[in-house]
Amino acid sequence: MYLNRVHRTFPKLKKLLTRQQSQAALVEQNEYTDTPEYPPILDMSLQGKKLRERQELHRKIQAINTVEEKQIALNMPRYYGWKCILFNEDKVPYNAMPLVQYYTRSHFIPIDKLPEYYNETGEAADAVVQEIKDLIEEAILIENGGVDRKFVTSTSKKEQPQLEDALAKCIVKQINRIITNNLSDKVEHVLSSQIDYDPRHEAFWFIGGVDTPINVLRWRQQYGKLRDRWYEPIDRPVQYKGTPILTVRNRLPLKPILPFEEAENPEFKVPKFTAEPYAVSGLVTLMNLVCCLIMAVVTS
């Protein structure tokens, strides 16, 4: 009687006091398999943990759809970007050939003439030169003295080299215009070519096997567990920036100077240069070490 009064006063209390009968569902599951299934054995060392973190980051970047988002995701952990070894086409440190060859894995072959397959079009090229010779001479004379141009210079560089470069750009553009107009009615694919003025060419990659810098060595020596990794070589990010006067794009690329199979030719030796880049012309290379954003694309 007392319980009924309480239920009338507090209707929700009846639901709490009333116990519903239930029975656990039995799922048909066979715990035996044809082949044993073991959980993965993870490497719990510092290198193993860092490797799994990088692999997880790579999977996230690969799942992104657009190139711009990939770039942002790759640079975001670094905030301002990566501290790179910057290669510029207009700044070549003294005695930098071994470093450039090793960082680009390039074999240098000195030659005095163009490859043999250019001889196939030699006669046609000579005929075109005779047709446009006078036009090119006239264009050079006009650009040198016939046009009064006022070029805008920067205070960060000397004025005379900037004026010479600006004049050279004007002459190159005029020569390219004359050649393109002459070849358009002779060669079909020239008419569909696209010309880019002052383009930006960039490349980014990591170079491995570089000697450990002194600051990294001192950081590693603080931890006794890293004793076996004190002198382990590191990977350095490399960035190339180039700005040619113009580029011509076409669906028919030029023939390679060497066959692509020759890239694996063991006779092509590349000098090994594992020293720090500071060793090349000291201060010049140090000034080229800047923080720049990666323009690399992580493709899936």
CA-CA distances (angstroms) from residue 89 to 192, 261, 288?
A: 29, 27, 12
CB 245 within 8 A of CB 177: no
* Shared domain check, 186 and 127: yes
Domain of residue 187 covers 121-200
Whether 261 maps to a domain, the answer reads no
How does pLDDT run across 134-176, given as a tens digit for each residue?
A: 999 999 988 887 777 778 888 888 888 888 888 889 999 999 9
DSSP for 189-217 reads: HHHT-EEEES--EEEEEEEEEEPPPHHHH
How does pLDDT run across 87-142, given as a tens digit for each residue?
A: 888 777 778 888 888 988 888 888 888 777 777 777 888 888 898 999 999 999 88
Whether 155 maps to a domain, the answer reads yes
Whether 32 maps to a domain, the answer reads no
Give pLDDT, residue 59.
Answer: 93
Contacts of 198 (CB under 8 A, 6+ apart): 169, 243, 245, 246
* Shared domain check, 147 and 282: no
- Residue 91 is classified by DSSP as B
* Shared domain check, 192 and 134: yes
Give pLDDT, residue 53.
Answer: 92
3-state secondary structure of 116: helix
Whether 187 maps to a domain, the answer reads yes
- What's at 218, amino acid-wise? R
Whether 260 maps to a domain, the answer reads no
- Of the candidates 99, 108, 113, the residue with the CA atom closest to the CA atom of residue 238: 99
* Shared domain check, 171 and 297: no
* Shared domain check, 195 and 207: no
Whether 250 maps to a domain, the answer reads no
Count of domains for the chain = 2
pTM value is 0.68
* Shared domain check, 101 and 206: yes
- Of the candidates 48, 85, 66, the residue with the CA atom closest to the CA atom of residue 281: 85
* Shared domain check, 97 and 215: yes
Q: How many CA atoms lie within 13 A of 17 on its CB side?
A: 9
Whether 259 maps to a domain, the answer reads no
* Shared domain check, 76 and 145: no
* Shared domain check, 277 and 134: no
Whether 247 maps to a domain, the answer reads no
* Shared domain check, 196 and 207: no
Q: Does the pLDDT of residue 292 top 70, yes or no?
A: no
